[in-house]
Amino acid sequence: MINTKATSRITPDVKKALIEIVGDRAYLDSPNERYVHSYDATPLYQHMPDAVMNPQNTEQISAILKIANAHQIPIIPRGSGTNLAGGTIPIEGGIVLNMNRFNEIYEIDEQNLTATLGPGVITADLHEAVEAVGLFYPPDPGSMRISTIGGNMAQCAGGMRGLKYGVTKDYIMGLEYVLPSGEILRSGGKNVKDVAGYDMTRLLVGSEGTLAVITEITVKLVPLPETKRTLVAYYNNLVDAARTVEKIIAAKVIPATMEFLDQGTMQVVDDYAKLGLPLEMKSMLLIEQDGEEEAVVRDIQRIAEIARQQGAERVEIASTLAEGAKLMAARRAALSALSRSKPTTIMEDATVPRSRLAEMVETVERVAEKYHLWICTFGHAGDGNLHPTCMTDERDQEEMQRVEQAFDEIFRSAIELGGTITGEHGVGLAKMNYLHLKVGAGGIELMKQIKAAFDPNHIMNPGKMFAGSERRRLVVKR
């Protein structure tokens, strides 16, 4: 049973001061409200905050942080809570700062190809707004219909279009942010070129709420592609699919999307979406190209030719945009489909160079067999970002130990293959004890010094990224 009584640094006087900033209705400390904000989309992690606050402007954020800093009260910025690294778990209690009232798109600047908005804007809402005027915001995380731009920025979210268009950090041009001291600062802006001093904007992207609170974001837009086409190729083995990815890139064809699904994922997705996939196949590539009509048709035909040359058993080109959209929607539903299988679903995101993709997939299969686990693999084949996903049950402690051992091997194998422990989910709680494998002890020490410069009292999302000495599983305040 979780203890719902607050034992924090929020004294009655501090609570009164905080309520004066945001009002009674925006300060929440009932057991139910605290419980709702004690977990995010990451399985196995939970901890009760002492309060939840819903500020609505930058000045309120500044005033809240001044009080929190003076009393060393932890602050955990939060959007929709869709992250998969335990990044918004209030592991040391404190105040969850819910940013969802910052949900306005302030400007779509068609001359400078930018949009300026609050961090609480839902990602898909930004897509729809800019596409209505013929512009395009490419980053498309799987959670885009519920995740916020601020959360995408905090974790540096990626998505299926990362191969051709890049990830969130490639589209953040300017920020307004509040330091733990309460000071309000700006970095970047609408200038395409700006090398005045350190790039604070890029530093804050992917900082997972550990340095400052982001209150306004300016993003880069590009022209909306004229059209798109979708192709699916099926294989009897993993090596041919991986080789196809390499050959397509070597042919200087860069698809907008190039997704990989192994046989296990295909089976679950087909059961969920009723696509009629050939489930005897060992793997499939789902490829989409966008751009001008003539170029798209040429690229799709070239991709189909390469796929056949590399051993694809079947290659099918969607005959309509609707058919292609259905295939892509099914891929986006992979996690939801897998989550129906068992009580606990753990999706990770080990990433390797494209040339090592087949080795990484084979490693995951070997590890799953070694530890007697059900692990399916899908992901962004074009950029080497794989999502090994384990269907398990957290109530089975013996199995959970095997899950921990399996993912330990998977992360270490990714590093040995020249890859990284996370391509788009972030570090948070889930991977903080593997970060040294990628950046080394010196890198972690430098990060800690940067953290101390921004946040000397360590109130911003404490216990994340490079803290701790053991991989934590269930973290519950009892």
The pLDDT score that the predictor gives to residue 7 is: 57
Round to whole Å and give the CA distance between 380 and 388: 11
Decide: 411 and 434 in contact? Cβ < 8 Å: yes
CA distance 97 to 78: 6
Beta strands across the sheet bearing 114-117: 105-109, 114-117, 213-220, 172-178, 184-188
How confident is the model at residue 477, as a pLDDT? Answer: 40
| Pairs from 449-455 (Cβ < 8 Å, separation ≥ 24) | 450/203, 450/211, 451/210, 451/211, 454/179, 454/180, 454/211, 454/212, 455/179, 455/180, 455/210, 455/211, 455/212
All residues at 6 or more sequence positions from 459 whose CB lies less than 8 Å from its CB, including other chains: 65, 68, 69, 72, 73, 74, 75, 94, 180
Residue pLDDT tens, the chain, 478 long: 344 444 578 999 999 999 999 999 999 999 999 999 999 999 999 999 999 999 999 999 999 999 999 999 999 999 999 999 999 999 999 999 999 999 999 999 999 999 999 999 999 999 999 999 999 999 999 899 999 999 999 999 999 999 999 999 999 999 999 999 999 999 999 999 999 999 999 999 999 999 999 999 999 999 999 999 999 999 999 889 999 999 999 999 999 999 999 999 999 999 988 888 999 999 999 999 999 999 999 999 999 999 999 999 999 999 888 888 888 888 888 888 899 889 999 999 999 998 899 899 999 999 999 999 999 999 999 999 999 999 999 999 999 999 999 999 999 999 999 999 999 999 999 999 999 999 999 999 999 999 999 999 999 999 999 764 334 444 444 3
Report field, pTM of the whole predicted structure over 0.85: yes
Residue partners of 353: CB distance under 8 A and separation at least 6? 384, 417, 418, 419
C-alpha distances out from residue 16 to 63, 68, 94, 186, Å? 13, 13, 15, 30
**What is the rounded (10 degree) CA torsion for 260, 382, 81, 86?**
90
d(CA 284, CA 219) in angstroms, rounded, equals: 34
- E strands in 60-180: 75-78, 95-98, 105-109, 114-117, 135-136, 172-178
242 Cβ neighbours under 8 A, 6+ residues apart: 354, 357, 358, 361, 381
Q: In this structure, what token pair is assigned to residue 252?
A: 């200087």
- Residue 467 is predicted with a pLDDT of 60
Which backbone phi and psi does 289 adopt, to 5 degrees? Answer: -125, 145
By 3-state DSSP, what share of the chain in percent is helix, strand and coil, each rounded to 5? 40, 20, 40
Query: What's the CA gap between 289 and 317, in Å, rounded?
Result: 11
1's CB contacts (< 8 A; 6+ apart) are 478
